[in-house]
Structure 1
Amino acid sequence: MALPHLWDDGTKTWGDEVHYRLRLPPTPPEATSGDAQLALLLPRIGVRFRVLFNGQEVESQAWRRGPGYFDAGTHAHLVPLPPSLRKPQWEHNRVEIQLQPQALRISGLAPVWIGSRDALQERHQRLIWWQVHLTWMVAASALMMGLLSLLIWMMSEERLLGLLAAGLLVLTLRLYLSTPLFLSGPFLAWDYLHKLTFTLYCGFLYLFISELFDFRQSVVRKLVKIMMVIGPFWLGVLVWTQNYNLYRLWTGVIVLVCVLALLKVIHRARWGMDVNQRLMVVVGLATMVTGLRDFLVVQVGLPGDVDIRWMTAGSLVLMFAMGWVLVQRTSQSMEQVERLNAELAHKVNEREDELHAMFSRLRAVESQRVLETERRRLTRDMHDGLGSQLVQTLNLVHSSGERVESATIAFMLSHALEELRMTLDSLEPMGGDLPTILGTLRQRIAPALKVAGIELDWQVQEVPVVPGLEARGVMHLFRCLQEVFANVVKHAHASRVAVRTWQDGERICLSVTDNGVGLGEAPESGYREGGRGISNIRLRAAEIGAEVWFSGALPGTRVTFSFACEDPLAGGAPA
């Protein structure tokens, strides 16, 4: 019996069951040498079914279960055909598929694949990843972010976070109902909730964007509110009449409203947008494209792989973007609270001791200046180090598609973790103790040198305190030495590197010497006068009041730093 893929497109005279008898290929498919078993791949079949091979049942999905919400069409099925049931003559084999359709649900049987089980396994696993695993991944992410947004909204009562929480929690429910599960109760009631959650998700999402862009009196905003009010009644009529075309029409209305919303955002761009708004525009546009593609392929019937829905992956990206906005808003709120608390404490202190009011104000201003300077330094270091590594890792994941090299990702994430640890180490109070600072750095560089096969000759002696090596100065010194050791590993072709400290009169000296190719002896040398490496080292050294020289070591290269000391002692340079 030839039936359309959408059950409701045909007549209503079919019964509650449909039996398909497959016309097998004239010759049996070739089986792999490792596994002679054949199998059927059912990309789409709904909503309950069973498969018979030569009159024997080989697969069943909720066929004998009572009333409830279940849809086998949420994922693909791989059905093995046991060799023991196979008849000697291929043309005598019979495959029957019996299914129970459901009104207002995609029912019927899509084209069936038959062949070696091993040959079909790859396609089946790919479909399961897209249809099931990715759905659960997005649902878990939406639930976590939705609950976090709800918690923050309860504390801050910010409307933006409330809309975000509502949208993500509604999306979680929709994704939960889109997974292979069985729920007791009327099917149409659960299906109504499944369709309604999509309407509410789109509505809350636009209201979130309108709040982010400050569209207070927008016409599109009013249309969205009207859509969210009409939606439950429209879908109720859909369930009552069981006319699937009403759902197609309603989905088209949602897509049209999304297009109008996007045009409104583009119109808003004439007055400029901040970083969060630009991010939401780009990600929102990409997500809308995935939804439009699914609508045209699944509902309208344009060419495309119906088994794979793009909007699930698009929703995951959109959630990460909204999560970033959530973090930004939370950070801004915390900073605002901190500022208010600082102002309140300042006023209280001012009234408690009028004699010290001016001194307190000056101290608060100085403290604020120091905090702002430190915050800018940390932001710059995190951006240049950890941020750069994470962006490179994210770009690699995006460009690699489905085949992500885990070893490369692990290496890049380890590098990012080292950047974070170095930043945290720089915050430790070391009081200008150069040996302690170098000992902290040694823990970071020693493994890399060992992997590169370079021996570390550590001759760090006790020297007086070096002024200027507080948190900011420690990070500058870390970055200088990080650049030096990076050049040793990448360009010097050295087998040994020596680190030494000594006191020379009123100066404290630090040197890093390798036995490599020597300064300027290799075209790819990292120490090229006017190059970025030397420039960065000199700029950072100047920030902490140090002098730096680059010289040949015969063989190799020596980089020497010279610092002023607080309590000079007698001493000389090592031989």
Structure 2
Amino acid sequence: MTPHFLLRLCSLGALWRLVWLSCLLSMGSGVAAQVRIQPDPALLREGDRSLSADVAVSDWSREDLRAWWAALRAVDGSASSLPAHLHPPDEAQAWQRVSLPDVQTRAASADFGGRQRVQMRWYRFRYAPPQGQWPTSVALYMPRVVGFATAVLVRTDEGWRPVFDNQSGVREQWVRPLWAVIPGALTSLHADRALELVVAVPTHTQGSYTVSSAWLGAREDLEVLQQRRWALQITVPQATGMTLVVLALFALSLWWRRRHEPAYLLFALASLGWLLRNLHYHMDLPRSPLVLHWFWWMTHASMAWVMLLTYLFALRFAKVQHPRFERLMALFVLLTSIFTLPWSQAYDTVVAQHIANASVGLIGTAFVSREAWREGSREMQLIVASLILGLLLGVHDLALLAGWAWPEHVYLMPYATLVIIASFLYAVRRRYLAALQQVESANEHLAERLGAQERELQAQHDRLRESERQQALLLERQRLMQDMHDGLGSSLLSAMVAVEQGTMEQDRVVEVLRECVDDLRLVIDSLEPVGHDIVSLLATMRYRLGKRLQVGGLTLEWDVQDLPPLPWLEPPDALHVLRLLQEGLNNVLKHARAHRVRIATRDLGERIEIRVEDDGEGFDMATAQKGRGLRSQVKRAQRLGGTLHIDSKPGQGTRLSLRLPVQREGRSSTETPEPGSTA
């Protein structure tokens, strides 16, 4: 926190807001819409505010006070039942002029033993309507009356008649405005003269009291002031208390999920402490004097604990923790709470509790302000500003409670609650946004690293694909060279040697060369991209071998149906398939003496079947010897993951059946099949 920040926010902002808020809140208790003081100060006109009154004092015993209250409960608006010695004095010399508000400050000591005497203070007002036109009902409004149960009496021809008795609400009288409506039946009796009424305020003989200025006039004119005062002093604190409950539950839910962050727990406890401090706004006070004293001790002592929790919450935003200060503050608050217990008779424990609260506030605010100044934390700076404002409002309420100043103001600490809680919420919000920003920054950093790694992996993948492509080309080149060397090269070399030696006839040379050309075409056809389509591969073979079959005197029957694609069908596998079918057709041409050959396909679900059938002579499978060529064909089919089956009978032709799987997992064309595959 910088000096410029303190000067601007605390000296100007906080102080100006305090003055503005105090003026606004006191508007309902100190300023009427229109104030007119008559030349005769004892006579009030319509809507006038009385700044003075006639006052008389009667010394009573406690028995007289109890008789007075009993009579008020029994008379029910009748003047005849009030004992004569409990009436306001009739002697003129008993009355004297007093300025309002009339305040007696709280003494340093208090007697709660009930042995001291009491006095009845009578405040007399006279009222006359303008131009003699009496309103439907006349009301008396006083912002604050502090004492025992207040009563309002109106003079009639029969004597003083009570029109208001606050015995039922005396415990809340210190914070609620006095509002007494005078029945029209009484005002009609004063059509030709002024209305005279008395406000009776019982007090201790040497006790404190406060009697504010009074408004007398038409009820509909003064009701606005009374409602405004009630809203500022009662409704707003009640709404604040309900808000604190919601915030406390919300903070507790956050802390339950994030127990490593005690700030949420401190926020919840401070909110509940504020609610306990303002509990008198939400419930009727206890009727027992002893219980009432303990109730006030609990609510006033809770203020020190609220401030302690507030400072602990603020220090959670500091970079350096201060456990020693926190323990000393907690010990001090505990001792002041014990010291101000209501069993003491030597001093006023309420004032002592407020002094202790002020001490806690000054010490804690000074320490937190120093830390905020040193660290420059914006959250702590705002909390300190709200604490300073709350401290000023607390001093205001202490002066109001003790009767030192501002007797007609409203209590402002409930409004300090809103300011401090707002600063808490700002601090939590700022921490939450900072955490979100850190997460977003970390996510951006991770995204950048992930992008870099992805680009690196893509480059590695491209290099790997290129390496695989080069390796595939090398393997394919080696395979082609091996096939040509073992097949085409071997056949050509054998034919060349035979021709040179003159041991091979021309027709045989032509046949060998034709077989070499067919084999070369098969190799070329296996390299054509067929997209794993076995039907396209068979169509290519038909185109290549069709003329040769026709020259050999064979009629080709084409019964090829649609087959599912074979994902594993690559050029090496395609060459194996073509060689199997070529070998089968060559056997038909050379040995079967057939006139017709049929090529058919079938979809068997998980497998497909390719058949080559002829109508030749056939042979006996039992006596036929399985030569080297047949074993080579079986192994070739096994490399494809399929099976090769040959079925023949003498005179019934031969059928070669090749079954291949649609899906072939974990096996390549170069792998040797497991033992047990049958043809």
C-alpha contact (below 8 Å) 1:31/1:38 kept by paired residues: no
Distance in 1 (alpha carbons) for counterparts of 2:242 and 2:134? 38
Q: What are the residue-to-residue correspondences of 1:323-472 with 2, within 5 Å?
A: 323-332=425-434, 358-359=453-454
Counterpart of 1:309 in 2: which secondary structure? coil
- CA offsets, 1:277-301, max 9 Å, x none? 2222222222222222222343360
Q: Shift of the alpha carbon at 1:151?
A: 1.2
Aligned match of 1:425 = none
Aligned match of 2:340 = 235
Aligned match of 1:315 = 417
Distance in 2 (alpha carbons) for counterparts of 1:242 and 1:360? 83
Aligned match of 2:284 = 181
Q: Does 1:205 align with 2:310?
A: yes
Which of the pair has more CA radius of gyration? 2
Q: Does 1:61 align with 2:161?
A: no
Distance in 2 (alpha carbons) for counterparts of 1:318 and 1:328? 15
Counterpart of 1:79 in 2: which secondary structure? strand
Q: Shift of the alpha carbon at 1:96?
A: 4.8
Distance in 2 (alpha carbons) for counterparts of 1:316 and 1:309? 13
Q: Shift of the alpha carbon at 1:76?
A: 0.7
Aligned match of 1:379 = none
Aligned match of 2:38 = none
The 3 A distance-change label for structure 1 pair 321 and 31 is farther
Distance in 2 (alpha carbons) for counterparts of 1:197 and 1:241? 18
- CA offsets, 1:75-125, max 9 Å, x none? 112111223124537578443536588x9xx97451351410345334323
Q: Shift of the alpha carbon at 1:131?
A: 0.6
Q: Does 1:151 align with 2:256?
A: no
Q: Shift of the alpha carbon at 1:34?
A: 8.5
- CA offsets, 1:309-337, max 9 Å, x none? 22222221221121122233344556778
Structure 1: which 5+ runs fail to align?
351-355, 364-575
Counterpart of 1:258 in 2: which secondary structure? helix
Aligned match of 1:125 = 227
Q: Which one of the candidate residues 267, 276, 290 is aligned to 1:164?
A: 267
Letter paired with 1:293: H
Counterpart of 1:254 in 2: which secondary structure? helix
Distance in 2 (alpha carbons) for counterparts of 1:128 and 1:38? 19
C-alpha contact (below 8 Å) 2:147/2:201 kept by paired residues: no
Aligned match of 1:45 = 146
Q: Does 1:217 align with 2:317?
A: no
C-alpha contact (below 8 Å) 1:16/1:100 kept by paired residues: no
Q: Does 1:113 align with 2:214?
A: yes
- CA offsets, 1:488-528, max 9 Å, x none? xxxxxxxxxxxxxxxxxxxxxxxxxxxxxxxxxxxxxxxxx
Aligned match of 1:4 = 104
Q: Does 1:78 align with 2:179?
A: yes
Distance in 1 (alpha carbons) for counterparts of 2:148 and 2:443? 59
Q: Shift of the alpha carbon at 1:10?
A: 7.0
C-alpha contact (below 8 Å) 2:121/2:203 kept by paired residues: no
Q: Shift of the alpha carbon at 1:20?
A: 3.8
The 3 A distance-change label for structure 1 pair 39 and 50 is same
The 3 A distance-change label for structure 1 pair 212 and 72 is same
Q: Does 1:134 align with 2:236?
A: yes
Q: What are the residue-to-residue correspondences of 1:460-499 with 2, within 5 Å?
A: none
C-alpha contact (below 8 Å) 1:74/1:179 kept by paired residues: no
Structure 2: which 5+ runs fail to align?
1-56, 59-102, 459-679
Letter paired with 1:203: L
Letter paired with 2:123: L
Distance in 2 (alpha carbons) for counterparts of 1:32 and 1:218? 72
* TM-score, length of structure 1 as denominator length: 0.51
C-alpha contact (below 8 Å) 1:210/1:221 kept by paired residues: no
Counterpart of 1:301 in 2: which secondary structure? coil
Counterpart of 2:165 in 1: which secondary structure? strand
- CA offsets, 1:336-374, max 9 Å, x none? 788999999999xx9xxxxx99329999xxxxxxxxxxx
The 3 A distance-change label for structure 1 pair 36 and 233 is same
* TM-score, length of structure 2 as denominator length: 0.44
Q: Does 1:273 align with 2:376?
A: yes
The 3 A distance-change label for structure 1 pair 109 and 40 is farther
Distance in 1 (alpha carbons) for counterparts of 2:439 and 2:132? 67
Greater relative contact order (Cα 8 A, min sep 6): structure 1 or 2?
2
Counterpart of 2:273 in 1: which secondary structure? helix
Q: How many residues align?
A: 346
Aligned match of 2:128 = 28
Counterpart of 1:75 in 2: which secondary structure? coil
- CA offsets, 1:439-489, max 9 Å, x none? xxxxxxxxxxxxxxxxxxxxxxxxxxxxxxxxxxxxxxxxxxxxxxxxxxx
- CA offsets, 1:42-77, max 9 Å, x none? 3233454443434444233343x9xxx942222112
Letter paired with 1:264: F
Distance in 2 (alpha carbons) for counterparts of 1:182 and 1:56? 29
Counterpart of 1:58 in 2: which secondary structure? strand
